[in-house]
Structures are given as C-alpha cells and as structure tokens.
A and B are shown apart, each in its own frame.
Chain A
Amino acid sequence: MIDRDRDSSKEQPTFEPAEILLSNLLNDVVCEQSPPELTNRIVSQFNRVTACESASATTSKSASMQDLSGGLFSLAEYDQAVAFAESEIARGYGWTVPLAAENAKGRSQLAEKKLSVWIQRGTMLVAVLAACVLAVLLIPPGFETKPTIEPRINDIADSRLDQSQRVDQTVPPQVASQPDSVAVITAAPDSIEKPFSNERQLAIVPDNRVDNAIKPPNSPMVVANNHGPSSPTKQMSDNDIIGIIDDQLKLLWERVGVTPQPSIKTELWLERSSLAIVGRLPTAAEKEAFRSNKNGSRNVEYVDKLLASQEFSKRWSEIVAGHYLGKGVEGIRSQPGPQLSFVKWIADSLSNKVFVGDIEREMISGPNSAATSESPLLRTDPAAFWLADILERSEVDHRESSEHLSKKPLEQKNVGLVAAARQTMRIAGSASMVCSQCHDGESRKGDFDDYLAATQSIRGQDSFWKVPASLSGISLDRRVAGVRPLKVVKSSEYFFEDAEGRLKLSVAGPPIQINGTTARSTLADWFRSSVEPRRAMVELVWNEVFKQPLVPVFGLTEEEGNNDRADLRYFLASQMQTGERDLGALLRWMVLSSAFRLDGQKMDSPWYLKATSEQIAEAQKQTRLFASLFSSESSIRESKWNSINEIANWVKANRSYELNNQALAQGAISPTSQSSLSQTSKPNYSEAQVRFLVSLSKPYRKVSDVANRLAASQMSWPMLLEHAYLVSDSRFPTQGERDESEKLFQAVEQDRAKALVMIINSKLGSN
C-alpha cells in the first residue's frame, strides 16, 4: 500500500513510517472495517497441514506437502519464520533495531574530532601530508589501512550485539542465504539510520525496556529468581560514560532540531559545579587554586576534590535521606536524634564511597524487630530507622483510613511488608502503590480482613507493578516504559501459570514471599543486585544537577526525547550497578559532561515581554532538552545587587520579609542604603535559599504583563504552566505542582492570565 498523496513523478518520496502506517490504518477506519473472524479457517487449515504432515511422514512425500495442504507456505518456510522470530525476540527485538544499526555507523567521530584539533592547531600538517603521500606510494593495492586513532569502543552495544547480530536483526537471515532469488533488498546499515541520520560516536542500546517482557514462548521461563537483565552490562571507563551522556544528548538535539547554547566560561562552570556538588559558590581560595592549576585535567581534579570533601557528603546525605524518607530533611537542624543518625549514617556511607545498592539493602533488610518497634524514634540502629519510620506512618495511615484494621495487630495484616514494598517501589522508580480494592474502580465489599488477599497494584507512569494475591510465593511484575508510557492494566495478564499451576512472572522481577520469613531480605537482595532501583538514584541526582528530571513522571512526547532520555537513564543506572559505583561517581559523570557546561538563557520577566512567540517556544524546547541549562549563578551575577551575600544580609537583618520584599521588588531600597549590612555576619546559605533571595529582586510589577503576554499566545495550558515556572522559579513544575495548577486553572474558570498571575506570584512570594 502506498501513500496516495505523494507525487512520485517529481521527486523520490522520503519514507515516513508514521505517515504510511496512518494511511494504511485510515483505510480500515473510514470503511469501518474490523478484523474478520478467522478462527474456523485457521483451525481447518491447521488440521489440514497436520494431516498432510503425518501423511507425508508415512509416505515420505514431503515435496507435495504444500500443494496438498493448500497453504501459502511449505513446512520449511513455516519453520524458518518461527525460528527467525524466536531468535529475534530472544535477542530482545524491539527497541534495539534502529539504535543498534546506528551503532554500526558513527564509530569514527572521536577520531575525526581529534584530527580536526590537530589540523586547527596547524601542527604536524606537513608531516601528515607527507605520511599520506608516502603511504599511498608504499601501500600495495587492496591493503586495508587501520585508523590511526583508535575509536572508543561502545561497550554497551558490544555487550548486546556484535556486528553480525546487528545485521541479522534487521535483515532476516533467509534472505542472505538464498542469493539466487534476490527479491529482497537487504538494507545496508547506513540506510537503516534514517531516523537518526547524523553520526554519533556512541549509542545506547537499551536492553531492558519493554523488551525484557518479550521472551519467545518456547524459551525457558523466566522465574522469580532471575533478577535483573539477562545480559550483564560491561563496565565502562568514566570518560566513556561521560562521552555517552554527551553523545546521547547531542543525538537528541540533532534529531529534534535544537541548537544547544554555547559553553559557559570556566569560571562560571566552577560556580555551577560547586553549587551542584557542595551547594555553595566556590571560595576565593578555590578559584585561585583552580586558576593557578595549569594541568589539563584541572576540571576533573577540582570535581574530585569537592567530592572528597565533607561538604559533599553532608549536602548529599540530606538529599538522599529526604529521598528515602519521602520528606525534606535538607537544612533542618532540629531533627529527631534517630533521624539525624540516619542522615549521618548515609553521610558516612557517601564519604566511604559505599555502593548505593548496599545502602538500600541495609535499610530494607533491617531486623525484624523494626517491624514491631514502638516508634522509629526509639530506634538506635540508623539503618533500621527508615523501616521503622515508614512502618509507623503506614500504621497511622491504616488507622485513619479504616478503623477495623487497627483492631488487629499489625503483624496479622503484614502491614510492614506492604509498607516496605510501597516505599521501596517509590524509591525504585517513582512508582506509587495503591490497593486495588478501591483504586481499581471496583469497590469490593467484605473480605477486607484479608488485606493482602486483595490484589495490590503498584502504579506509576514509568512503571507498573502488580502483586497477585493469595499466593505463598508472590512476585512483583514490573514493566518498564518503553516506546510509550504504559497504561495501567487492571488484569493480571502479566502473569502466567506454569505447568504445576503456580502463577509466575512473565518477566524478571523482585520476588517477595508474603508469608515467608525472608520476605524483606529477599527484597533487599533484589535491591542490591538489580539495576532497576539505581534508576531512581540516577533520576534524583540528575534532577538536582540539571534542575529538571531526566525522565519525568508526567511523561514526554517522542519529540521531547522520551526514549532517548529513558535510554540514558537506564544506561547510567546500569553502569552504576555494574561497577558498583557510589553516588559521587554518578554526580561526577554528570558534572563533567559537556551538557553541564552549556549556557542558560535568562528567561526573566523582561525577556518574556520582549521575546517573540517563536523565541519563547524555542527557549522552552532548549531548556526542556538540556540544550540550555538553568543558570542560577548567572542570575546572581546579573543581579543589580553587588553580591548575593548583601541581599542575604539585608534580609536577615531586617527579618520582616513580607514588607521589605515588596520594597525590594520595587527598587525602593537600594543595597547601598542599608546600614544594617555590616551588622550581620557572613551567611552561608543553601542553594535554595540563594535562589529565593535572588528572586526577591525580580520585578514583580511586571508579573501581570508577563502573564498577559503568555496567555495571549496560542500555547496550551500545560505549556503556559511550564513557562510560568521558568520565569518565576527557573525550573519546570513537578507533577504535584502540575496537578495543583490544573485545579487552580479550573477554579478560575480557565482564565489563563489570572491563573498565571496567581501561580507566578505564588512562586515569587509577593504580589
């Protein structure tokens, strides 16, 4: 079927799969054609083929099989098609096709880069030319020269597919084996790269997207003991990992058509990396030491020095503890003792470069006594605090939600495990877990006593977990978002019954034995051994460094690089897992990447008032795709105040925030007129505080103008909302903020300007 609206006589049509697929589908849609009922036909044909097969076995006349059965294919062709399908799926057919083909090309980018540097410098040019001439003269015909500069090896790709496999995956082998009837044009690797025509040095071949769920039916079943991806990822060097981050983002920009911002100056990078790692601007001594260091790897040395500092472990222990506990602990000094111990325990782990999987295993596999502890605050074991904390909160939840639940001891309800599962799932992939008794839409009365007998659904945009009930050995099934976000499916179709009638997973997942004594330890082991939980850590760190999630829970479109970003996240997680790397290593990869050096546009109120709609759209696109980075330090620099400390000192001295913020905003008070500046000591503010204080100098009076300007555009409400957060808080809204804003939008009867003013003001803290 061809695309009918193309005029092939004028030019060679480009192949657009989406358009062709759409045209093909439209035929059936406009004609209201639905699939025919073919069951009887299939059954009768199957019986005919089977009968012929058995007849031929007795008479040895296999040649006439096809004619006898009346089918389209011979038995050999049947077998061939089945064998090809099995082998493809066994290799994880699905998402690897274009990217694997892409790997076949683009290995020479590094060599070209290095060569171009030499050429630019103008050195050795003569020598190279002379060598080339000499080589041409000396090398015999047919001799294949090797590249002078060895390209980096894509370990990921090589671990999945070698060169021959890549070709096999896109070109069915039967074609190659029958050259006599060349009716099939096997595509060269280059031609497969149409969607990603630009060269890249390294590419990511994900192997545990949805294709983890795709196993050939005849292959050995994946049982619950099979944790993690089937093919281990090779450990790569830090430089290669950083190169892949750059390449993956570069690929995304090229594909989407976004031009990245130029790189920032070194000094600005210094500030940016300091803020990311230790949460403060670099000191004068640090800057001077950096300047005087003429070593080519001074950036790396600077980052390593920061990572080795106590400031790093302190700052990131609070971030990580907040992540695990589900509540902010950053900057809070009056925390309960056990909680402080927990934070300190994480800080020590970070200082000692402990693998994140070990930290999580320690937390989850806390002693059983934690489940019956009276209060988490009585816990003396820092690692067990986490479990005790979530258990207590779960108990409160249950008491509040259903009175009768509290009438029985918690042990009977096994609330502990459910709570642990819920919290661990949240950690593992930002997935939420809800009881399907209510959340599946079917309110089932009675039977509530057997809390666990009801199906538990763990849902999330990014992953879907489902826990079947009434099983002695229970398993969590997990599906990772692949090409598109998954919808929640309410059936248990991702499970299957084995020959012995036991329900088993269709994919690998963490095993949980609800009634077993080793439930938590098994779950803990899975957290230690599987790459999946590392994804959440990648997301956390990326969010902190780049100021927006790598793969947001609210989902992205194809244009926003949903797949590329998911690939990158999985890649980083797998490298973290394979090398058992600590959080500092992950942070190091991100901070040393080229993306982290990109400049940021200052999308403030004056900019919004001047920018055209195209510029606004482009800036949003750039920012969304990490081609333009948020730059809090540039805001600080360009502030009308001499330094952030002056603002901070002034605010601290005057204390009356509400009154003076307005005065500040209107420019009525200049920094030089503040006599109280000298009265305060030098503050040491966190990045969040710095951001807030800088925001005080923003021109509030233009908020309504900006809101009107944005509201007058043709952008959709979600897009407007993102701009509102960009202008007011230099970041994208979180899922919760999106939900809240949607309610607000409805509450003001969808008055876009009004809603935007309220949202921007709520972020700036003034009207």
Chain B
Amino acid sequence: MSWDASVLITNHQAGVWRYLRSIGCDHALADDLTQETFVAVLRKPFVQVSPAATSSYLRRVAYHLLVTFRRRQKKVVITSEMDQLDLQWMRWAGTDGDGAELTEALEDCFRRLTTRAQLSLKMRFGENATRELIAKELGITEHGAKNLMQRAKMQLKQCLDGKLNRD
C-alpha cells in the first residue's frame, strides 16, 4: 500500500465512520463498512482531485455498500429515506466535512441544554434507560419526560441549524 493510500485512510476514515453512524449503523457495522469502503476504493487506481471530492466519493461508496449489505440481509431499505438522511448530513456537515465540526457543534449545543434535559438525554441515549426510569429519576410524569426530551431535541436541532447554517 502506498503512502498516499495511508494518508487517504488516515484523513478520511473518521468522516466515513461518522457518516455511517449517523445514517443508522451500529458501532460494529460502521467499523466494518468503513473498512470495506476503503478496500473497495483502493482496489482501483485512485487520484485525489480534492479532499471535498474524495470525501463525497467515499461517502457514496459507503452508502452503496450499506445498501448492498442490508439487501443481502433481506432487510427492507427505503432508499428515499436514506437519501434524505444523506442530504441532511450534507446540510449539517457540509459536502466535504468529516463530521467533526458537526459533532463539536452538537456537543456545544448539548452543553447549553438545562441540566435536567441533559440528564434525560444522557439516560436515554447513553444508558438506554426507559422513559419510566427517566421520569422517576427526574421526579416527573412519564409524559413529562417524553415532552422534556422532545423539547431538548428540538432545541438541539435549532441550535445545530443556527450554528451550521448561519456561519
């Protein structure tokens, strides 16, 4: 493997991995498909036109490998929804972005949430806690916990839109 290929992998693996995670792959699958994406690309002669072009190219290869993978698993894939996820990724991360800026922005937005909102989301997404458990922890009703999380997510979305669309 040439030096350029190593550089390519080093520079772009995080972006591909984040992209795959964001469109619904779990950790293991994201690892596997990131690996396979680079293998697929590097099998052919590769000329780097620009990082932006390469980034887009790698994402599309990863996308098609994911579709192929799920098709082989006999899983239903609605490609239009995947396209919309892909488009949303580009809106937030940019076409040439590796997602680092997006993640940083989300972290920053997350820190701006209230402590209760942060806690609820941490329990939900970090600990996979049920809504009932979250409600009990926060001393609110289950319905209140649901509303709290939905509001928090809406705030995060608006914050991301503001940060990434108004730069």
Which A residues have a C-beta under 8 Å from some C-beta of B?
A: 1, 4-5, 15, 17-31, 33-39, 41-43, 45-47, 49-50, 53, 71-73, 75, 77-82, 84-86, 88-89, 93-94, 97-98, 170-172, 174-175, 178, 181, 183-187, 191-192, 194-195, 210-211, 213-219, 221-222, 482-487, 493-496, 506-507, 555, 557-558, 562
Contacts and interface: CB of A to CB of B under 8 A. Distances in A.
Given A17-B87, A483-B90, A31 B51 contact: no
A28 B21 contact: yes
Nearest to B104: A29
Contact of A97 (B77, B87, B95, B122): B87
Contacts of B79: 170-172, 175, 184-187
A214 B88 contact: no
Contact of B53 (A29, A71, A217, A484): A217
Given A89-B53, A183-B72, 19 more contacts: A24-B21, A30-B125, A35-B18, A38-B13, A41-B31, A47-B1, A73-B40, A98-B87, A172-B64, A174-B64, A181-B71, A184-B77, A185-B79, A215-B49, A217-B47, A217-B57, A484-B91, A493-B51, A506-B52
A72 B64 contact: no
A27 B69 CA distance: 22
Contact of B31 (A36, A184, A217): A36
B50 interface: yes
Instruction: Bin the interface of chain B by size.
Output: 35 or more
23 contacts: A5-B124, A21-B89, A26-B125, A26-B156, A28-B103, A30-B121, A37-B13, A50-B43, A72-B69, A82-B43, A82-B44, A97-B87, A183-B71, A183-B74, A185-B78, A187-B83, A213-B53, A218-B47, A221-B47, A486-B167, A496-B49, A557-B166, A562-B165
Interface centre among B43, B60, B153 (most CB of A within 10 A): B60
A5 B167 contact: no
A39 B16 CA distance: 13
B114 interface: no
B13 A29 contact: no
Given A21-B85, A46-B1, A73-B68, A214 B53 contact: yes
Interface in B99-141: 102-103, 106-107, 110, 121-122, 124-126, 131
B88 A43 contact: no
A29 B165 contact: no
A20 B51 CA distance: 27
Contacts of B91: 483-484, 558
A170 B83 contact: yes
Interface in B8-30: 9-10, 13-14, 17-18, 21-27
Given A21-B89, A73-B65, A484-B91, A86 B80 contact: no
Contacts of A217: 46-49, 53-54, 57
A89 B92 CA distance: 19
Contacts of A79: 40, 43
Contacts of B162: 557
B13 to A, nearest CB: 5
Contact of B39 (A78, A94, A482, A557): A78
A496 B53 CA distance: 11
Given A192-B80, A558-B165, A216 B34 contact: no
Ranked nearest first, the 10 interchain pairs of A and B with the lowest CB-CB distance are A506-B50, A187-B80, A85-B60, A81-B64, A78-B40, A35-B14, A17-B84, A17-B88, A30-B126, A35-B17
Main secondary structure of the interface of B (DSSP, over half): helix
A222 B124 CA distance: 48
Contacts of B83: 97-98, 170, 187, 192
A47 to B, nearest CB: 7
A4 B63 CA distance: 23
Contacts of A27: 21, 125-126
A484 B84 contact: no
A484 B94 contact: yes
Contacts of A89: 53, 56-57, 60
B156 to A, nearest CB: 6
Contacts of B84: 15, 17, 98, 194-195
Contacts of A43: 1, 6, 9
Given A30-B110, A496-B48, A20 B68 contact: no
A483 B43 CA distance: 32
A176 to B, nearest CB: 11
A216 B39 contact: no
B65 to A, nearest CB: 5
B80 to A, nearest CB: 3
Contact of A36 (B17, B25, B92, B131): B17
Contacts of B74: 181, 183
Contacts of A31: 125-126
Contacts of B68: 73, 77, 80-81, 174
A528 B110 CA distance: 49
A15 B81 contact: yes
Contacts of A171: 79
Contacts of B25: 1
A203 to B, nearest CB: 15
Contact of A183 (B75, B81, B94): B75
Nearest to B32: A72
Contacts of A216: 49, 53, 57
